[in-house]
Each structure stands twice: as structure tokens, then as C-alpha cells.
Amino acid sequence: MHTANEHTAVHTHRTEGVLVIEIRNPPVNAASAAVRQGLMAALQTLEADPQAQAAVLIGAGSSFVAGSDLREFGQPLQPPQLPAVIAAIEQCSKPIVAALHGAALGGGLELALGCDARIAQAGTMLGLPEVTLGIIPGAGGTQRLPRRTGLLRAIPLVCRGERFTATQALELRLVDAVVEKDTDLCAQAITHALGLQGRKQRIRDEAVPAEDAEKIAAAGQSALRAGKHQPAVVAALSALEDSARLPFGEALARERAAFETLRLSPQALALRHLFFAEREATRPPAEWKQSAQAATPRPLETVAVIGAGTMGAGIAIAALGARLNVILLEQTPEALQAGIQRITSHYQDRVAAGKLTAAQVDAAQARLTGTCHWPDIARADVVIEAVFEDLAVKQTVFAQIDQHARPGAVLATNTSYLDVDAIARATTRPQDVLGLHFFSPAHVMKLLEVVQGADSTPDVLATGLQLGRRLGKLPVLCRNAFGFIGNRIYNAYRRQCEFMLEEGAWPEDVDRAMQGFGMAMGPFAVADLSGLDIAWRMRKAQAATRDPRERYVDILDHLCEQGRLGRKSGAGYYTYAEGRQSPASDATVRALIADASARRGIARQPLTDTAIQRRALLAMVNEAALLLAQGVALRAGDIDVVLAHGYGFPRWEGGPVFWARQQDPATLNRELEALAQISGHGFVAGDLSILLNP
């Protein structure tokens, strides 16, 4: 019997006395309104069919159900809602087995937990990641999951939104069996369903296992701390606690109410914005579609990394982890040895932490070749340069690359600020050159700016994006301009923070205010951590061309002149006592800052945390408007993705553009005028409407 209706997202057919209910909502079978309606209809078919004694619920394509349809979350939800579908599964007189593969996340896992049994294909990813979107599971996830796992395991899984594998799910008793990847999942599920012999076995009828109350309380506290007391984490914990102390129906209703409140909260809005911006960012721009042929990535199996310093070693580790062959080139055997040692220590740490096996490390290291001999890079499909940040050095290196790389190889620079076109011009093939700006540590940070030079061809850029995805990164395309997207905005922000130092704030005031807003670290603590000498060197290089009328804060230069280069020298904006982790403020620094104010004739006035936050954020927002107007950033959302992933901007604020859109436009424009006034000559005020009216 087939009731496949091409217009529905759910198809059914009966085989061997079992009704197979198949969800077909490509690409990931999101539990949209159409899917929910289709499931309700399928359950009626099941109940009405005397030949069917059980059902199998399965997803077509690459996944079971990867989650709810987030696009619906900003509006009133269409009936039937997911809890009603799950209630209907539980009320159905015949058992239903969920057959999982690909992803069973969020609403997908909740749907599966509403069934009478679950079998999963090896490789399935499961989890309740709702808190990462500022909400909690709203269809019984916080009630059914702990009935199987116990609260001690459920708390980190739900409060941190951790994903887990099919094997872990089996250990947690969340699935009843794991089947091999190449077996017929549907057939196995049918056998399992027949084995139930009509028995219903609802998780809701089970009790939450008894566990040590003190340990549960400690797990809760640790989850709250890790989640920075975000409303979603607080609500998730409370819903989990309900599971052990309230009747199922009552706890379920409270979970749904909390979900409904959070769904429309500002944090959830911000996190959904970032979720969609992240997806959008990795897509090539629409105009490339017209030249689809030209935008096909070039082959990509072997990467040469030039320079085995901090970044080069990190990039090599990332590439080895993605099963690419790596040729690492340094200028001297000593420098090469030091670079290889960096990579080796990384692997030793991973093995010690139980994250990699010795065999995996051997396999990775077997793909690594170290060399000081330029002709060795001829095998590379992509060459990534990560030598000193100096234009002349990079141009010399690119002339060498040009001489030895094979025709058609993609040539990338990891420069932070330098002009990609000036580097490309050192070769005879600027069309093959692009920027690949990794973030430190390069094997950890997900962000990758893919920088389009004036001559870079679409297929070269497509290869950059592809490499980024293969390395598990979030590649964001941008155009060549000083600092690209991230460093350019961060510079504007840091500059404004320096103005505030001169006007009356101390470094700790600015850092406290920005951390209070949610930045991972304050700007002066960050500066100390990365070393002040990098900025000092850049400032010296720019001194000759700097407009003397420009407002220029020289506090950093004076700190560096006194040997205060940041954390590595024991002192910078703060003092770092030996053996002490936390920085201390310093009378010398205060005197130096007060001097700077006096030289400029400023009577120091304290600034409130709110004033500091708004000025600093507005500086970022203004630069974002300029970047978008100049076409350096292709989409406003890309700017938010870059700031959230590379610069510690709080995700629950959605990024500077999203933040700006939540403000009153008239106030923002008024504040921008004031900011332009106080920032003086050289400050360019952008037209914020480009950001505010998407």
C-alpha cells in the first residue's frame, strides 16, 4: 500500500505489517508545519490500517530531522505544534520506532524520544542544542531525556547544548541499538518494530533515576557558570529540575511556557540572526552563479605553508587535521625544527588529553613534509604564506613562490593588514593570488577571512572558500582593504577606547565596561595579551604619512618605550606579577595616562560604563557602515559573523550591526554626531542607514 502524495512532506507505505512513515523535507528534514501536518495524517493512517501493527519513522535523504524550522520561530507557530505531534505518537495504540541517521537534533531528537524505541545508524549526531539559540527544548526534551540519562548527564547535555554520537546515545540509553552504516536502516527498524509485538513503551511513563542531590546541585551550578547565567541556560536547568519533582504533564506545560517566552526574547532573536548570517556568509555571492563554470574550485589535496611560526604551524595543524598533505617551508633548518616542534607538541598534548590516538597522530605526521628547499613546493595545489608581517619580506617570498609553484596553484597570503594587491604584484600571476586571513590559534579559531584581490578570479576565491570549509572553518569573503573586515572594525573600536583613556577613563574602567557588555575580554587586556609592540611597529610605519591634524593617542607608544610590551614582558596597560594570573592596575600607567591628558589640555572626567559601552559600540557600528558602503564587506551579516567569531563579541547581542538595529535610529545618529565631534579630525562618519534599513 502506498499513500505517497507528492505534495506532502511525509510519505507512508506499508511493508511486512509495518507502516513506514518517511519525512521528506530537503535539505535536512526540518520539522516544519508541513512535516507536522503530514505526521498527524500518517498517524491517522497507522491507527486506521488493520494490516499495520507498528510503524517506523524515518527521514529521507541525508538526515532524520536536523531540528525545527527556525524561520518559523519569529512568528506565531502554525498548528499542529510539535508537542501535539509527539502526544499523538504517544497516544497512538501501536508502537512506533524512530530510525535515526545523519542528524537528530533539537526538535528531531524530541520527536525520536516521543517514539517507543529508537535505532541509530553509526555516525548519527544527536543533541539538544536549543540553548545555543537562546531557547530551550520546547517539545519535552528536558523531560524525556533525563528519564533515560539521569539528571547528572542531562544537565551538561541540555544546558550546554552538547552534541553526542550514536554510540554515546546507546550508553546513555537514549537509543536501543546502533546499526552499521552500510546496512539497511529501514529494514533493521522494521525488524525492531515487529519485535515489539504491539507493546507501547513510552519514556514519559518512566521515572527519572535517583541520583545524589549534592552532585546534581553542583552540576547545575557549573552549567550556570559555563553558560554565563544566560536566560536560556537558567530556564533549561529549571526545566530539567522540574522533571524530577513535578508530574510529567505539569512539567511539560512549564517547559513549553518557558520555550514560548524565550522564543521571542532579544537574545534568541540575536542568536537566530547569527545562525542565518553564518549560513549566508559561507555562500558565494549571487553574481558568481552567472559564471558557475568559472567559479568551480581548483583541485585541493596538497598545501604548502611558507613560514612555520605561530600561524604557519597552526595552519599546518588545521590542514593535517583535514587530511591534506602539508609541505612546510622555512628559511633555516633551525626555524624549521622549531616549527615542527610546535606541531609535535600540539599532537603530544592531544594524545595526553585522550583526544587523538597515537595511530591517528602517526597518520597525520606522515602527511607532513618539512623543507628549506623551494623547489619542493612544486607539488602544492595551494601555497599559504605566513611569514613576518612586512611588505618587502612578503614580496620577496611571493617572487620565490611565483618561481617554484606549479602553474594553476592558488597562492594565498595570511597577512593581517597589508595590501593583498601589492603582494600579488610581486608575482607574474596576480589572478591566482588571494588573502586567507586565519585567526590565532589557527587550528582552533573557526573564522577565516577570504580576501578578494583586484585580480583574484572567482575559481581562486571558490578554492579559498572550499579550503576553509574543508578545514572546518567559517570562511567569510571580503574585499582587499586595510584590515579587511575584522581588524579594520577592531582598530576603530580600540582607537575610540584610547580616546576615552585620554578623556578620563582608566584601562580597567574600559575593560570592565566592555566585559560587562559581554565582550570576552576588554580591549586593553586583549592588547596586553597580544603584545603592544605589534601595534607600536605599525604606528611607527604609518608615522610618516599620518595627518598631523588627526587625533592621535600616544599612550601605547610611551608604554612601549618603557619596555611595557604587554603580558609577555610582565607589564603593559596592566602589571602582571610573577605567578599571578590576574592583571593589576598600576600607578605608573595612571601617571602616564594623566600626562597624556594634560598634554592635550583635557581635564579628566570619569565616564560611566554605559557611556563607554555606547561609544565603543558606535565606533564599531560606524566602521561597519563604511565597510559596507565601500563594498569591503559584501553583506551586513558578514560583519556580525566576523566580530562574533574572531573578536569575542557576545553572540547573544548578535554582532554590532544587529545591536545597532535594536537601537533608536535618531538617538544613534545623534550619538554619532557627538562621536565625530569628539574624535576630531580624521574621523569619518558613515551613513548608518545602510545598516539600519536592511
Catalytic annotation, residues: 110, 130
Residue 290 CB, shortest distance to ligand NAI, in Å, is 33
CA distances in angstroms from 514 to 412, 518, 526, 611, 620, listed in the order given: 34, 6, 12, 11, 13
CA distances in angstroms from 610 to 229, 325, 617, 623, 648, listed in the order given: 21, 50, 10, 20, 19
Does residue 311 bind ligand NAI (CB under 6 A)?
Answer: yes
Residue 68 CB, shortest distance to ligand NAI, in Å, is 37
Does residue 56 bind ligand NAI (CB under 6 A)?
Answer: no
When binding is defined by CB under 6 A, the residue of 190, 306, 481, 660 that contacts ligand NAI is 306
Residue 371 CB, shortest distance to ligand NAI, in Å, is 10
When binding is defined by CB under 6 A, the residue of 32, 124, 132, 414 that contacts ligand NAI is 414
Edge-to-edge strand list for the sheet holding 163-165:
103-105, 125-127, 163-165
Does residue 440 bind ligand NAI (CB under 6 A)?
Answer: yes
CB closer to ligand NAI, 288 vs 417: 417
What is the footprint of ligand NAI within residues 82-141 (CB under 6 A)? none
Does residue 662 bind ligand NAI (CB under 6 A)?
Answer: no
DSSP per-residue letters across 595-646 = HHHHHTT-------HHHHHHHHHHHHHHHHHHHHHTTSBSSHHHHHHHHHHH
Which range, of 177-185, 237-245, 303-311, 540-548, touches ligand NAI by CB under 6 A? 303-311
When binding is defined by CB under 6 A, the residue of 149, 415, 463, 613 that contacts ligand NAI is 415
CB closer to ligand NAI, 310 vs 491: 310
Cα dihedral sign, 19-20-25-29: positive
Say how many residues touch ligand NAI, by CB under 6 A: 23
CB closer to ligand NAI, 183 vs 345: 345
Residue 352 CB, shortest distance to ligand NAI, in Å, is 24
Does residue 438 bind ligand NAI (CB under 6 A)?
Answer: yes
**Where are the extended beta strands (E) located within 311-422?**
325-329, 368-371, 382-385, 410-413
Which residues are bridge partners to 672 per DSSP? none
Distance CA 398, CA 391 (A): 10
Distance CA 457, CA 453 (A): 9
Which cell numbers hold the place of 397? 617570498
By three-state DSSP, how is residue 431 classified?
helix
Which cell numbers hold the place of 13? 507505505
Q: Return the HEC string of 179-223.
A: ECCCCCHHHHHHHHHHHCCCCCCCHHHCCCCCCCHHHHHHHHHHH
Does residue 518 bind ligand NAI (CB under 6 A)?
Answer: no
Query: What is the contact mask toward ligand NAI in residues 377 to 406, using x (rule: CB under 6 A)?
Result: ---------xxxx---x---x---------
Spatial contact of 106 and 85, defined as CB atoms under 8 Å apart: no
Helices (H), 246-332: 248-263, 266-281, 310-321
Residue 483 CB, shortest distance to ligand NAI, in Å, is 11
Distance CA 14, CA 465 (A): 44
CA distances in angstroms from 213 to 151, 152, 154, 216, 651, listed in the order given: 10, 9, 14, 5, 33
Which range, of 6-14, 51-59, 249-257, 412-420, touches ligand NAI by CB under 6 A? 412-420
Residue 648 CB, shortest distance to ligand NAI, in Å, is 14
Does residue 416 bind ligand NAI (CB under 6 A)?
Answer: yes
Does residue 10 bind ligand NAI (CB under 6 A)?
Answer: no
Which range, of 57-65, 302-310, 375-383, 567-575, touches ligand NAI by CB under 6 A? 302-310
CB closer to ligand NAI, 128 vs 477: 477
DSSP code of residue 105 = E
CB closer to ligand NAI, 55 vs 450: 450
Does residue 170 bind ligand NAI (CB under 6 A)?
Answer: no
When binding is defined by CB under 6 A, the residue of 30, 151, 305, 308 that contacts ligand NAI is 308
For the chain, the straight-line distance linking the first and the last C-alpha, in angstroms and rounded, comes to 50
In terms of Cβ atoms closer than 10 Å to its own Cβ (0-12, 13-18, 19+), residue 80 is: middle
Residue 315 CB, shortest distance to ligand NAI, in Å, is 9
Residue 13 CB, shortest distance to ligand NAI, in Å, is 55
CB closer to ligand NAI, 152 vs 336: 336
Residue 534 CB, shortest distance to ligand NAI, in Å, is 8
Does residue 310 bind ligand NAI (CB under 6 A)?
Answer: yes
In terms of Cβ atoms closer than 10 Å to its own Cβ (0-12, 13-18, 19+), residue 250 is: exposed
Which range, of 93-101, 347-355, 437-445, 450-458, touches ligand NAI by CB under 6 A? 437-445
Cα dihedral sign, 275-277-280-281: negative
When binding is defined by CB under 6 A, the residue of 307, 648, 650, 686 that contacts ligand NAI is 307
What is the footprint of ligand NAI within residues 318-337 (CB under 6 A)? 329-331, 335
Site for ligand NAI, rule CB under 6 A: 306-312, 329-331, 335, 386-389, 393, 397, 414-416, 438-440
